[in-house]
Every structure is written in structure tokens, then in C-alpha cells.
Amino acid sequence: MTAFVVARVAIHDREAYGRYSAGFMPVLRQYGGRLLVSNEQPEVMEGDWDGRKLVVLAFDDASAARTWAASPEYRKIAEDRIAGSDAIVVLSEGIG
């Protein structure tokens, strides 16, 4: 079942986050992930939004998402994400 990684990201160091972004897609593709959404200004349709970046990734299943997140390649580039931003990241399986 398709699994989704959803992140809400507050970027506070553009240089560090830029290094992370530069290495992100090759690592995501290496582990079979797909980038569905990457938007720093999503349209608010209801409620309050704090202006953070919205990211949505898709993987074939939750196991693949966990493998990607724990991989040495991702952990290496994630050092710059952690240095350059604060994020809330969740994993959820899709429906059906």
C-alpha cells in the first residue's frame, strides 16, 4: 500500500537547507521515492497556516519509506536539513 511522508518545514538557514535540497532528489530516487509536493506557500483553504514549507513524498509502502529515512545516504544529507530548518515529519499509509 502506498505510504506518504508529509513534512512541515520552517527554514531558518537557507545555505544549509540549500545543500540538503541539492542532494535530496538523487537519494529519494535511489530508494524509490517520489516527490509529490514541495511548496513554500501552499494555499490555505481553511484554518491557520504558519507559513511553513509543505513537502509530500510517496513510497511503494511504509517499509520503503523507513528504509529511505534510515539510509546512510539520507542521514548524511539530513544533517544539513536539521542544521537549516525545524521540521515535523510524519509517515502514513494511504487508503486502499
Give me the DSSP letters along 63-75: HHHHHHHHSHHHH
**Residue 1, pLDDT above cutoff 80:** yes
Residues paired with residue 86 on neighbouring β-strands, in sequence order: 10
Gap between the Cα atoms of 35 and 12, Å rounded: 22
- The closest alpha carbon to 9, from 45, 46, 68, 57, belongs to 57
Q: Are 65 and 91 in contact (CB under 8 A)?
A: yes
**pLDDT (0 to 100) of residue 12:** 97
Question: What's the average model confidence in pLDDT over 51-58?
Answer: 95
**pLDDT (0 to 100) of residue 51:** 79
**Residue 59, pLDDT above cutoff 90:** yes
Hey, which CATH number is domain 3-43+51-87, 1.10.10.10, 3.30.70.2740, 2.60.40.10, 3.30.70.100? 3.30.70.100
Q: How confident is the model at residue 50 (pLDDT cuts 50, 70, 90)?
A: confident
Q: Which residues have a Cβ under 8 Å from the Cβ of 92 and sit 6 or more positions away? A: 3, 4, 6
Cα 30 off chain centre by: 15
Q: What share of the chain is helix, strand, coil (3-state, %, to 5)?
A: 40, 30, 25
